[in-house]
Structure 1
Amino acid sequence: MQETIKYIALLRGINVSGQKKIKMVDLREMMQQLGFDKVQTYIQSGNILFEAADPDPASVAEKIGTAITKTFGFDVPVLVKTRKDIEGIIDQNPFKNPEDLQANRIYYVLLKDVPEPALVEAFRQETYPNEKFFVSEECVYLCCLKGYGQAKLNNNLLERKLKIGATTRNHGTMMKLLEMSSSQQR
């Protein structure tokens, strides 16, 4: 039997303000029909844990995106990471102040591709009141002192500035995804 890899798929922009509605039961069923194993979802914002034999996260993301378009009738950007990738991203978070972590001020903007160095350097020169950020190759870490809802520095702005696709999750969601995937890690 071929060894499987524990993946976490992050969908961007579903079930937000009544747009791109997908029921999690239907999403799980679609994933199982694609041949993925041990499929779980977490909350309605499009977090899917599953196992697959395909060693290429980009190929897996494309397969899921194509299936979503066919099944639900609209395009959804899909980012797929391994459990190990998610663990590394969390470990590299430069904002570890317990007060910020508990107050839900920490966000991870997971990047679809590595941003161009010139764009990163230009972005690093910018400042945003009540917001701190750090850019890595696969994530922009945000500390939003007044909360993400009040932040100017959001997913859409980062996609424009860095010219790449992204999806955002809060620290609590990232930790829960890591926890849920840990018992099935290979």
Structure 2
Amino acid sequence: MPGVAIPRRENTSPLTDGHHRATPAPGVSEDVQVPAYLALLRGINVSRNQRIAMADLRSLLTGLGHDDVSTYLQSGNALFSSRAKSPDTLATQIEDAIRKELGLTVRVLVREAADLHRVLDANPLADVATDPSKLLVTFLSVPPDAAALETIDPATYVPEVMAVGEREIHVWYPDGVRKAKLNPPFFEKRHPGAAATARNWNTLTKLASMLG
């Protein structure tokens, strides 16, 4: 059965719904290459109580001193470059800023560009996933708990199929995601205190091309 194709990476200018660049810090050259990151916000713009305009998110990230800030779609996908070296530290920083400036409690997961490309290159469900809109990756704020996941009986969740990665879980939903059982809340229950948020393959391949 044909798998899901992964588009070739291209170093092109991102096509986004907004693009902001922060003013370089004194003494820092604009020519210095800084790492690119992807911030994934969990559960925003799906209810009246967790609304964040992407323009506000871009302004918030720029205000934190990050460069090349852009967003994609309304589901909370932000791209930026930063001299910070820890994705987890960046996630905490963004969560704190959202709480202080926007008055919302939102979990944020941050991944380096190379990490996103790794996830796409791995594609462990390529042999079964024939529709990229139904192939999702659930990102976790902690590494998957092997002991907790081993208790899952795959037969109980057929036709859904999952494959565990380093800090993410690929899931194929042939019947769609509306009534899916192997969803982010399912994985959060097996990782107490952790956050999980999912994006489909189409969104992730677009984000990867934007990151370069």
TM-score by length of 2: 0.80
Q: How far apart, in 2, do the equivalents of 1:124 and 1:91 lie?
A: 27
**Of 153-162 and 115-124, the range deviating more from structure 2:** 115-124
2:99 to 52, 58, 69: 69
| Aligned counterparts, 1:55-134, within 5 A | 55-97=85-127, 100-102=130-132, 104-123=133-152, 127-134=156-163
1:31 to 61, 68, 73: 61
Q: How far apart, in 2, do the equivalents of 1:119 and 1:166 lie?
A: 15
Q: Say yes or no: does 1:148 pair with 2:177.
A: yes
Percent identity, aligned pairs only, is: 36
**Of 136-145 and 47-56, the range deviating more from structure 2:** 136-145
Q: Say yes or no: does 1:168 pair with 2:198.
A: yes
Deviation at 1:98, TM superposition (A): 8.1
1:16 to 40, 46, 52: 46
Cα distance per residue 1:152-172 (max 9 Å; x no partner)? 111111111243321100001
Is 1:128–1:152's contact at 8 Å kept on the other side of the alignment? Answer: yes
Cα distance per residue 1:16-49 (max 9 Å; x no partner)? 0323101101110111110000000000000000
Q: Which runs of 5+ in 2 are unaligned?
A: 1-28
Flag as ranges the 4+ runs of structure 1 deviating above 4 A.
none
Q: Which runs of 5+ in 1 are unaligned?
A: none
Is 1:11–1:76's contact at 8 Å kept on the other side of the alignment? Answer: yes
Q: How far apart, in 2, do the equivalents of 1:61 and 1:3 lie?
A: 21
Cα distance per residue 1:129-175 (max 9 Å; x no partner)? 22011112211110001011121111111111243321100001100
**Of 171-180 and 156-165, the range deviating more from structure 2:** 156-165
How much is the aligned-residue C-alpha RMSD, in angstroms? Answer: 1.7
Is 2:144–2:164's contact at 8 Å kept on the other side of the alignment? Answer: no
> In terms of Rg, which structure is larger?
2
Is 1:12–1:167's contact at 8 Å kept on the other side of the alignment? Answer: yes
Is 2:95–2:108's contact at 8 Å kept on the other side of the alignment? Answer: yes
What amino acid maps onto 1:171 in structure 2?
A: W
* Structure 1 residues 98 and 152, CA gap change in structure 2 (3 angstroms): closer
Deviation at 1:74, TM superposition (A): 1.3
Q: How far apart, in 2, do the equivalents of 1:126 and 1:112 lie?
A: 27
Is 1:106–1:144's contact at 8 Å kept on the other side of the alignment? Answer: yes
Q: How far apart, in 2, do the equivalents of 1:151 and 1:162 lie?
A: 19
Is 1:120–1:162's contact at 8 Å kept on the other side of the alignment? Answer: no
Q: How far apart, in 2, do the equivalents of 1:9 and 1:124 lie?
A: 32
Q: How far apart, in 2, do the equivalents of 1:105 and 1:97 lie?
A: 14
Q: How far apart, in 2, do the equivalents of 1:126 and 1:120 lie?
A: 14
What amino acid maps onto 1:7 in structure 2?
A: Y
